[in-house]
Amino acid sequence: MSDRLFIFDTTLRDGEQVPGCQLNTIEKIQVAKQLEALGVDIIEAGFPISSPGDFNSVIEISKAVTWPTICALTRAVEKDIDVAADALRYAKHKRIHTGIGTSDSHIKYKFNSNREEIIERAVAAVKYARRYVEDVEFYAEDAGRTDNEYLARVVEAVIKAGATVVNIPDTTGYCLPDEYGAKIKYLMEHVDGVHKAILSTHCHNDLGMATANTMSGVLNGARQVEVTINGIGERAGNTSLEEVAMIIKCHHDIDIQTNINTQKIYPTSRMVSSLMNMPVQPNKAIVGRNAFAHSSGIHQDGVLKNVQTYEIIDPKDVGIDDNAIVLTARSGRAALKHRLHVLGVELEQEKLDKVYEDFLKLADKKKEVNDDDVLLLAGADRSQNHHIKLDYLQVTSGVGVRSVASLGLSIAGEKFEAASSGNGPVDAAIEALKKIIRRQMVLKEFTIQAISKGSDDVGKVHMQVEYDGHVYYGFGANTDIVAASVEAYIDCINKFVKQ
Ligand code: KIV
Ligand code: ZN
């Protein structure tokens, strides 16, 4: 029987560290459920001690997801481990991922320490984590630049202390594929008890070698890979899940299997790109817009005669639907349902009817409704259960005049109206809103983004509002950006008022 390669997805931890790509908890749950459908084995859901938002997300993802192991990151610090264990309390399968830097530069400059002390701290952290969970992964940060002999001592010590998985990160993306593969081989051959644990790759893409390094690690004995959707991650990103999954699928000579349902790759890629506002580069392997587009005459001719001449992957194998229907105001419910299905979203009839109603309204304003719009409409549907809803909004603004807004809210079915002037249309609308919701709220963050292009596009607004010492995230999407902003503000308020 062929070996099993475990897929550890860190889109929601390492991937989410990219500035401007932060997701709120609802969006993280959406991604986590999609990762579960994709078939990943482990979801790294966050770094709980780093922020209340991360702590909360680990709790909510643990509740929402059934099959994958939920993993929480910590430093080799007891308090971090206490908080991670607490955040994982609802997970059906749980893992604590603890670790410390092992390269000479980390030991000297980051920890002002020495090699022996680092081994002691690593062992203590693993033992401490094992008091809470049976599954403990240890990471040797900057293992890529750690001398192999010392690394082997660290790995041996943490396995003895109870680590079930040992992660060998090429944190800076420095290694060459041969060098990284040789490192894994060295550990496989020189660590006593190495077979009691799984070695994991975790490669960054600073020199464009993340996938090559990961595969070299696998070919030399690693049986877990740490990856992200679309290869997102800090700086040049992490190894991309879709590349590793498709390399394994295409290369029958590599006798290894994953649990990935490759037909869910494209919908997952679209969802992550859309929610994180992180476009996929057109020539990105597997999921880029041009990944299967043959434009040269010679290639087109060959592909028409037999696709195998120039195509090593059938686009359908990664969930790309050649016959994608362009949705317009004349599209029916069935076309919308099909598109949502292709994008990985299944809705019950009642919800579908509501999303279809919103779709028709949007299609009246936009010529073509794209995948991002459709995903937004399906997500925006959650506002229907809100305690507070926006009934109407009217704004007057222009150059040389003060903006004025009037709006109507429905709060648990009761109607309220208010008007206000402001420093601009959004300010005027929010001031009017505050006249109805009489609470001390402070707007902490406010981002507006168009989804694709064109002046008829949907604007997507993310907000953070502070109330009573806590920060709440809100989201709104509308072709009118003032309306999207007010919807996002109301979404925040709905998080702390009674549902
Ligand atoms: O790149 C890295 O070293 C990491 C560790 C924290 C696992 O992300
Ligand atoms: Zn990393």
- CATH number for position 261: 3.20.20.70
Q: How far is the CA of 139 from the centre of ligand 1 (A)?
A: 7
Residue 489, pLDDT score: 93
Q: Is residue 448 part of a domain?
A: yes
**343 and 402 fall within a common domain:** no
188 and 72, same domain (yes or no): yes
**Residue 80, ligand 1, Cβ within 6 A:** no
Q: Which two tokens stand for residue 331?
A: 């599209």
Q: Which residue has the higher pLDDT, 380 or 129?
A: 129
* Inter-CA distances, 471 with 24, 441, 466, Å: 11, 10, 4
Domain check: are 253 and 314 in the same one? no
pLDDT value for 99: 98
> Final residue of a domain: which of 348, 381, 414?
381
- Is 79 a member of any domain? yes
260 and 322 share a domain? no
Q: Is the pLDDT of residue 372 over 90?
A: no
Shared domain for 357 and 435, answered yes or no, is no
CA 18–ligand 2 middle distance (angstroms): 11
Taking 70 as the threshold, does the pLDDT of residue 325 lie above it? no
pLDDT higher at 239 or 377? 239
Residue 13, ligand 1, Cβ within 6 A: no
Question: Binning pLDDT at 50, 70 and 90, where does residue 120 land?
Answer: very high
Are 268 and 40 in contact by the 8 Å Cβ rule? The answer is no
CATH of residue 434's domain is 3.30.160.270
Higher pLDDT, 491 or 301: 491
Spatial CB neighbours of 402, under 8 Å, sequence gap ≥ 6: 421, 422, 423, 428
- Ligand closest to 172 (CA) is 1
Alpha helices in 321-388 (DSSP H): 333-342, 349-365, 371-380
Instruction: Give me 493's structure tokens.
Output: 């308020």
Among 208, 243, 275, give the residue marking a domain's end. 275
Beta strand residue intervals within 224-288, DSSP E: 224-227, 256-257
Residues 447 and 401 in one domain: yes
Q: How confident is the model at residue 100 (pLDDT cuts 50, 70, 90)?
A: very high
Q: 366, 381, 396: which is the final residue of a domain?
A: 381
What pTM did the predictor assign?
0.72
Nearest alpha carbon, ligand 1 atom 6: 141
Examine the domain organization and report whether 157 and 46 are in the same domain. Answer: yes
Q: Pick from 46, 148, 173, 22: which is nearest to 97 by CA? A: 46
What pLDDT shows up at residue 303? 62
Chain centroid to CA 203 = 17
In a domain, 281, yes or no: no
For 243-293, how does the pLDDT look when each residue is reduced to its tens digit (9 = 90+)?
999 999 999 999 999 999 999 999 999 889 888 878 788 899 999 877 876
Q: Tell me the C-alpha distance between 164 and 109, whole Å.
A: 29
Structure tokens given for 263: 């037909």
- 226 alpha carbon to ligand 2 midpoint, in Å? 9
Exposure b/e, 318-333, CB count within 10 A at least 16 = b: bbbbeeeeebeeebee
Total domain count for the chain? 3
182 shares its domain with 59: yes
169 CA distance to ligand 1 middle (Å): 6
For 181-233, the pLDDT digits (tens) are 999 999 999 999 999 999 999 999 999 999 999 999 999 999 999 999 999 99
Q: Is 392 helix (H, G, I), strand (E, B) or coil?
A: strand
Tokens of 339: 């598109």
- % of the chain exceeding 90 in pLDDT: 64
Report which of residues 6 and 480 the model is more confident about.
Answer: 6
Higher per-residue pLDDT: 90 or 369: 90
User: Do 103 and 204 fall into the same domain?
Assistant: yes
In this structure, the answer to whether residues 266 and 369 fall within a common structural domain is no
Q: Does 8 map to a domain?
A: yes
Domain carrying residue 213: 3-275
Indicate the average pLDDT of the chain.
90
- Does 385 have pLDDT greater than 70? no
How many Cβ atoms sit within 10 Å of the Cβ of residue 120?
13
pLDDT greater than 80 at residue 460: no
E strand map for 67-159? 69-73, 94-101, 136-141
What is the per-residue pLDDT for 469? 82
Mark out the alpha helices in 72-111 (DSSP H runs): 78-87, 104-105
In the reported structure, the alpha carbon of residue 205 is separated from the centroid of ligand 2 by a whole-number distance in angstroms of 10
Q: What is the DSSP letter of 204?
A: B
Ligand 1 atom with minimal separation from the 143 CA: 3
Is 173 in a helix, a strand, or coil?
A: coil
Q: To test the ligand 1 pocket, which listed residue (11, 49, 105, 139) has its Cβ within 8 A of the most ligand atoms?
A: 139
Are residues 146 and 172 located together in one domain of the fold?
yes
Which of 47-56, 69-78, 446-455 shows the lowest mean pLDDT across its residues? 446-455
- Do 369 and 390 fall into the same domain? no
